[in-house]
Structure 1
Amino acid sequence: MKLASLRGPGRDGTLVVVRRDGAVFTPAPAEFPTMQAALDRWDESEPRLRDLASRLERGEIPGEPLDPQKLAPPLPRAYEWVDGSAYINHIILVRKARGAEPPETLRTDPLVYQGGSSVLLGPREDIVLHDARWGLDFEAEICVILGDVPLGTKKEDAHRHVRLLCLANDVTLRNLVPGELAKGFGFFQSKPATAFSPFAVTPDELGASFRDGRVHLKLVSTYNGALIGDPEAGPEMHFSFFDLVEHITKTRAFGAGTILGSGTVSNVDRARGISCLAERRMIETIDEGAPKTPFMKPGDTIAIEMRGEDGLDIFGRIEQKVVSP
C-alpha cells in the first residue's frame, strides 16, 4: 500500500491512497483525513486503506492524476524525527573529514540525534541556502514511520511497530557541525529542515527486499543531472531499523507518527559512489591531499529515489533545487 499527503487545507495535509505506479490517487476515508489520524488508529485505518488501494489498483474506483508538486511530506509534521547513523563506512569517512576519531563503541552502540520535526520539506521543495559558508550538503537515507512503541521494546519485537517506510534528504550544514559538536551538546543549527519522498509505503510493498530490518535495494542519488551514487542499502547497514528501535526505546516510549532514519547510506566499495558530498570530499582528501568538490550552491539539484526488483519506483522521487533566499 502506497500513501501520500496532499498540501492543505490545514498544516497536516490531506491523506490519499496512491496506485502502485504513482500516477493516480484517491482520497482516504473521511474518518482518516490525515496521515497522523491514520497512524493514531492504525488497527482501524489500515484495512480500510488497503481495501481502497486494492480497488484503485483494479480500476474499480476512479483515480485522480497525481501532481508531485502538490505533495507535502507523507507526514507534513511529525511528533518526532530521530535519525540514526547505521552505516559504519559513512561514520568513519565524515569523522575523518572533520579530524575526529570514531567512537570506541562504533560497532556496538548506535549513533542517533533528534532533529526538528515541526517543519519538514516536501519532495519538490527548494532548499534555501542563507549562507554559502555554512557548507550545504545532501544526505540520502531510508526511514521508517512508527506506530506507538513501548519503552523497552526489544529488536525481536520491533517489526510490530513499523507502519511505513519512506526516503529522506537529511540536509546538513557541514561547516557548522564541528563547532556545535565541540560544545558537547549535539547538532542543532547544522541540521535544517529535512525533505521526504512523495510516498510512504507499507513494508509488504518491498516484498523480500525488506528483511532483517533492512532494505536490500539500491538507493540512487543524482546530483546536477548525473548519477553520483547507487549504494546497496542492505548489506552494510550495521545497525538495522530493529536495532535502532531497541536503542531509542531504552529509556522512553515513542508515539505513533515518529520518523526514524537510517543515516546516510554508504558502501565501502567506491564504485557504488556516495550519498553525500562529505564522503566524496574525504575520499579526495585521502587520495589527493585536499577536497576538490565544493558543497552545494544555488542552482545545484539533487534527486533521490529507489526502485524495486521489478523496476517500479517505490517511494517516488525527491527532487530539490538549491536557491538563494
Structure 2
Amino acid sequence: MPYATYEFGGARRVGRVEGDRLVPLDGLSELGRDTPSDVLSAARERPAEAVPMAAVRVCPPVPNPDKIVCVGLNYHAHVGETGRDLPTYPVLFTKFASSLIGPYDDIVLPPESLQVDYEAELAVVIGKAGRRIPPEKAVDHVLGYCVANDVTMRDYQYKTHQWLPGKAWDRSTPLGPYLVTPAEADLTAARVTTVLGGRELQSSDTSRLIFGIPTLIAAISEFTTLLPGDVILTGTPGGVGFRRDPQVFLRDGDEITVSVEGIGTLVNRVRAEG
C-alpha cells in the first residue's frame, strides 16, 4: 500500500493513501530513520482522523534522509548521448536532505544558473539497515519506491570534475509523491518519462538500467552502512535537455511532469527565485 508524508493543520504526519484521502498512522510524523519496515508495517491506523488529499501539502516521502546517493550514467541511451564509455562500476554522487522538495512544490530557478535541467528517475528508499548487503538479499532492505526529478544546474555541474555543485542545490529535487511498497511495485519494465510543456522529452523503462537495484544496493553498502530512510536515485534515461540540439532548459512559468509507471507522478511548476 502507498504511504505519504504530509502536512495538515500545522502538523506533519504519515498516512496510508486510500483513494483520495490519507489515513494517518499513530505516532509517525515522517518516514525516515525511525520508520524501518517493521515499524511501518506495525503502525496502527487512525481512520477517524482521515483527511482529503486535496486539503494537505504532500511532502517528500522521506523529508530528512541521512543519505541521498545518486547514480549517473545508468541507462544505455543516456551514456550514448553523453559520448562516454559504458561504465563498469556505478557512477555515484550525493545530494543533501536540504535538496529535497515535495512532489507538487515549485522548482525555483536560482539566479546564478542559466542551465537548469531535468532528469526523471526511479528512487529507492531503504527500510532495513545493512552493510555489505549481497545482491540476492537487497530487496529485503527496501522500504519502497518513489519518483525523483534530479534537477541539475549543468553550468555548475561542469565547473569541476566533481558534479556536487550542480547536483546538490538547496530545494531543487522533487521527490514523491508516495512511497510504494515492494509488494505493489512491478519494476520489470516500468516506463520512465518526462513531459515539459506538453512535449515528451524522456521515455524509457527500468528494464534498460545498466546496474539494477540489487547491484546498486550491494555496491553502495559495500562502503557505507545503508540506514532506514536513505534514498537511492537510480539514474535517468536519455533525452536530458543539456544533450539536445537545441538545448532545453527549465524556464520561469514551465510545468514539468515526471512519471514512473506504477509508482507515481511529480508535477512541478517552475519559477524564478524572488
Cα gap change, 1:68/1:171 in structure 2, threshold over 3 Å: closer, same or farther? farther
**Please, what TM-score do these two structures have when normalized by structure 2?**
0.88
Checking the alignment, whether the CA contact within 8 Å between 2:33 and 2:65 is kept in structure 1 is no
Tell me, what secondary structure is at the counterpart of 2:155? helix
Out of 145, 148, 151, the position equivalent to 1:171 is: 151
Which aligned segments of 4 or more residues in structure 1 are displaced greater than 6 angstroms?
none
Superposed displacement of residue 124, structure 1: 1.2
The alignment status of 1:278 with 2:242, answered yes or no, reads yes
Measure the CA separation in 2 of the matches of 1:156 and 1:307.
24
Task: Give the 3-state SS of the residue equivalent to 1:125 in structure 2.
Answer: coil
Q: Is the 8 A contact 1:35 1:74 kept in 2?
A: yes
Q: What residue in structure 2 maps to residue 39 of structure 1?
A: 35
Q: Percent identity?
A: 24
Identify the match of residue 87 of structure 1 among 64, 68, 75.
75
Shift of 1:319: 1.1
Contact map agreement 1:77 1:119 (CA 8 A) in 2: no
User: Of residues 14, 26, 29 in structure 2, which corresponds to 1:29?
Assistant: 26
Determine the structure 2 residue equivalent to 1:16: 15
State the Cα RMSD in Å: 2.3
Deviations 1:107-150 (A, max 9, x none): 42111111122341001111111237530001000011002332
1:171-250 maps to which residues of 2 (within 5 A)?
A: 171-181=151-161, 186-191=162-167, 192=169, 193-206=172-185, 209-210=186-187, 215-234=188-207, 236-250=208-222
Q: What is the one-letter code of the residue matched to 2:15? A: V
Task: Specify which structure has the bigger relative contact order, considering alpha-carbon pairs within 8 angstroms and separated by 6 or more residues.
Answer: 2
Q: What are structure 1's unaligned runs of at least 5 residues?
A: 267-273, 282-290, 309-313
Specify which of 48, 57, 66 is matched with residue 43 of structure 2: 48
1:38·1:46 contact (CA, 8 Å) conserved in 2? Answer: no
Q: Secondary structure, in 3 states, of the residue corresponding to 1:197?
A: strand
User: What is the aligned counterpart of 1:77 among 40, 56, 64?
Assistant: 64
Distance 2:147 2:69 in 1: 14
Number of aligned residue pairs: give it: 268
Unpaired runs of 5+ in structure 2?
none
TM-score by length of 1: 0.75
Matched, 1:320 2:268: yes
Report SS of the residue matched to 1:190.
helix
SS of alignment partner, residue 243 of structure 1: helix
Deviation at 1:248, TM superposition (A): 0.8
- Residue 200 of structure 2 corresponds to residue 252 of structure 1: no
Cα distance in 1, alignment partners of residues 33 and 94 from structure 2: 23
Who wins on radius of gyration, i.e. which is larger? 1
Retained in 2: the 8 A contact 1:68–1:124? no
CA change 1:68–1:38 in 2 (3 A) is farther
Higher helix share: 1
Structure showing the higher strand proportion among its residues = 2
